[in-house]
Structure 1
Amino acid sequence: MPQLPDIVPNPLALVAARWTPSPAAVRRATLAALVMSVVIVVTGGAVRLTASGLGCPTWPTCSGDSLLGTREMGIHHTIEISNRMLTYVLCAAVGWAIVAVRAMEPRRTGLYRLAWAQFWVVVANAVWGGITVLTKLNPYVVSFHFLLSAALVTVAVLTWQRVAEGDASPRPLVGKPVRQLGQLLTAAAAALIVVGTLVSGAGPHPGESSGRYKVQRIGVDWKTVAQLHADVAWVVVGLTAALWFVLRAVDAPVGPQRRTRDLFLVLMGQGVIGYVQYFTHLPAALVDLHMFGACLVWIAVLRVLLSFRERPLAEPGTADAAAVPLPAAGAASAAAEGAGVR
């Protein structure tokens, strides 16, 4: 009796049998998925900041039985439905990354699972976006919607990074205390993002201004939460500066040093935007730019953390890449650990 795969072939397997993309092509595909994961954050912010969050008052349809609604529903409807349609573009980018990773030779199961994880996070966030509409933009629901977007960015960064690496076990390039400092920096940056969502939930941009719907806000003074957000931001800046000095002191490989420097520069730019928007009473354009900056900060933090280890490609004919000689960066790390940096 024929099996189901014999009757209905796996389309991804069919593509893989006829096309083998270059590593550069796979890298571009995963980068496109990462870029779209940031774009959807920015456009989603624009929906709220233009008071278009309920431009389509229902979900999954836009109004009643209509999937797209009508032009007569106004500019807020146009903005909201455009953002919903961009979700399909995001799905296409993630789908292309999945196809490209599946068609790689040799096949990389772990990377393939990461690529699919992006798709499932997109689906979860789309459903949660519908819940934000059905709950009339409950600020806590909206905040979690952004956190799910941050999760998508995280998986997209990991997928993009892993394309350029091998599948061997990771080897540290810096000592354990440096890695722990990087983990503390990552935790502080995550806390910064969470507090930032609370500022948005308490701030003057509820996402709907027609007056037809009562949009709940978080019941705290947004300026107080903004001050807490700024305090956490300074903690992140301080940890970043400390990490950079430590990396210099232990003569760490150039990769972690450069990525820490890049993070510091991104934080400085984000800080300027944050203070300007605060003292100008949160103009919508600057708030959306600040959301874009938040994505860049998180990506930079992840890249710092990922730069602390390497996963070299296995040599042909070897079962594990552990047999590959240490490159210069790995040798520097070994020397640092031998000097007492554990």
Structure 2
Amino acid sequence: MNRAPHADPRENLHKPPPYDGRVPNVTRADVAQAVRNPLAYIAERWTPSQRMLQRAILASLVMNVVIVGTGGAVRLTGSGLGCPTWPKCTDDSLTATAEMGFHGVIEFGNRLLTYVLCAAVGWAIIAARSTKPHRRSVTRLGWVQFWLVMGNAVLGGIVVLVGLNPYTVAAHFLLSTTLITVATVMWQRAREGDGAPRPLVGKSVRQLVWFLTVAAALLVAVGTVVTGAGPHAGDSSEVHRIPLNWEDVSRLHAVLAWVVVSLTFALWFVLKAVDAPPGPLRRTRDLFLVLLAQGLIGYVQYFTDLPEILVGAHMLGSCLVWIAIVRVMLALRERPELEVSVPAQGEAQLTSAR
């Protein structure tokens, strides 16, 4: 006589009980827990799918890039002091007024997007905290994002209070780049396991990628100097600029760009030569294509007297270049899933079923 197959008890370890259609009673203890630790309260009652977690983190990454683009729009339209103070827009108004015109709307709109970014990062934190089993490393990256957003908001206020000092503007952009780095790492960590990282390529390839990363970091840093010395000061009034010839700094920026492109091509050639896995090859190819597009925009804007639309596109391109750099670094290793042991009770049930 054939026995009916028994369900594997391990399948139900992290499944919530089926919904019976009744509205649960909310007790005082539930309210107290929700107030005391709202994340734990939500995590006990909701489990997001892996796809939802990845989408929540991707949304925070996209918003980080978007707010860099809108920040560039503020500068390129001369609206950097559209709201002349911070945290209020004026001494007497929290929001932009009709008298402030177009520039006030642009600057205040960019400030409002900070709240959208906070919401996106908060959603990523909630989704990471509610994942079963709880992945602390992913949740911590979400909290790092949150505090970086708070720090960059304060730094943005300082930028306004010091009259768009170019050094503070550069620091504001570099902190945004750090934020994008954390968001990219969090996105990747949500797509892999929590096991110990295992390298997919040799030590010499990893060293080459580190040289590439350092060169790309210098490229981004020098780009902020070009911005600080260039003609787009961020406001129509007299704004202090970095006392350097922006064309000379632009040439240095171009040289570093060619160094990054050359190292990327060398990396792709080495990966092909050592028959590397497809992951690092794809990420290197993506980086190479993004660099070519960014270089084309850079040269066109230089020879057309820096039109605002191309400068804005170049700023967004710098974010995409850096994301591609981080993804190349992360593609050099893999993290397998941790083996989840079955509790003793589950093992006993499995044995008795047999």
Cα RMSD between the aligned structures? Answer: 1.6
Partner of 1:147: 174
Counterpart CA distance in 1 for 2:256 and 2:151 is 29
Instruction: Answer whether contact 2:212 2:263 (CA < 8 A) is retained.
Output: yes
Counterpart CA distance in 2 for 1:8 and 1:36 is 28
Q: CA deviation at 1:7?
A: 8.8
TM-score, structure 2 as length reference = 0.87
Gaps of 5+ in 1: 319-342
Counterpart CA distance in 1 for 2:105 and 2:35 is 40
Counterpart CA distance in 1 for 2:35 and 2:121 is 23
Instruction: Answer whether contact 2:34 2:41 (CA < 8 A) is retained.
Output: no
Instruction: Answer whether contact 2:58 2:187 (CA < 8 A) is retained.
Output: yes
Q: CA deviation at 1:274?
A: 0.1
- After superposition, what is the alpha-carbon deviation per residue over 1:245-299, rounded to whole angstroms, capped at 9, x for unaligned? 0000000001101110110000000000000000001111100000000000000
Percent identical residues? 64
Instruction: Answer whether contact 2:287 2:325 (CA < 8 A) is retained.
Output: yes
Q: Which amino acid aligns with 2:330?
A: L
Partner of 2:186: 159
Partner of 2:10: none
State yes or no: 1:84 paired with 2:111. Answer: yes
State yes or no: 1:296 paired with 2:320. Answer: yes
Q: Which amino acid aligns with 1:237?
A: V
TM-score, structure 1 as length reference = 0.90
Counterpart CA distance in 2 for 1:292 and 1:181 is 26
Partner of 1:284: 308
Q: Which amino acid aligns with 1:239?
A: L
Partner of 2:339: 315
Counterpart CA distance in 1 for 2:245 and 2:184 is 34
State yes or no: 1:258 paired with 2:282. Answer: yes
Counterpart CA distance in 1 for 2:92 and 2:214 is 44
Q: CA deviation at 1:316?
A: 2.9
Counterpart CA distance in 2 for 1:258 and 1:313 is 22
Match of 2:242 among 218, 230, 241: 218
Q: CA deviation at 1:221?
A: 0.8
Match of 1:191 among 205, 218, 228: 218
Counterpart CA distance in 1 for 2:287 and 2:34 is 51
State yes or no: 1:204 paired with 2:231. Answer: yes
Matches within 5 A, 1:1-342: 8-209=35-236, 211=237, 214-317=238-341
Q: 1:264 to 1:7 in 2, by over 3 A?
A: closer
Q: 1:7 to 1:223 in 2, by over 3 A?
A: closer
3-state SS of paired residue (2:36): coil
Point out the more displaced range, 48-57 or 163-172.
163-172
Q: CA deviation at 1:65?
A: 2.9
Instruction: Answer whether contact 2:198 2:335 (CA < 8 A) is retained.
Output: yes
Q: Which amino acid aligns with 1:309?
A: R
Gaps of 5+ in 2: 1-28, 343-354
- After superposition, what is the alpha-carbon deviation per residue over 1:201-228, rounded to whole angstroms, capped at 9, x for unaligned? 000000000x3xx310001111000000
Q: CA deviation at 1:315?
A: 2.6
3-state SS of paired residue (1:74): helix
Q: CA deviation at 1:85?
A: 0.3
Counterpart CA distance in 1 for 2:188 and 2:164 is 35
- After superposition, what is the alpha-carbon deviation per residue over 1:294-341, rounded to whole angstroms, capped at 9, x for unaligned? 0000000000000000001123329xxxxxxxxxxxxxxxxxxxxxxx
Counterpart CA distance in 2 for 1:70 and 1:105 is 48
Counterpart CA distance in 2 for 1:75 and 1:251 is 56
Partner of 2:24: none
Counterpart CA distance in 1 for 2:206 and 2:74 is 39
- After superposition, what is the alpha-carbon deviation per residue over 1:17-74, rounded to whole angstroms, capped at 9, x for unaligned? 1110011000000000000000000000000000000000000110013111312211
Is the radius of gyration larger for structure 1 or structure 2? 2
Counterpart CA distance in 1 for 2:76 and 2:126 is 35
Counterpart CA distance in 2 for 1:166 and 1:8 is 32
Q: Which amino acid aligns with 1:240?
A: T
3-state SS of paired residue (1:208): coil
3-state SS of paired residue (1:168): coil
Q: Which amino acid aligns with 1:276?
A: V
Q: Which aligned runs of 4 or more in structure 1 are off by greater than 3 angstroms? A: 5-8
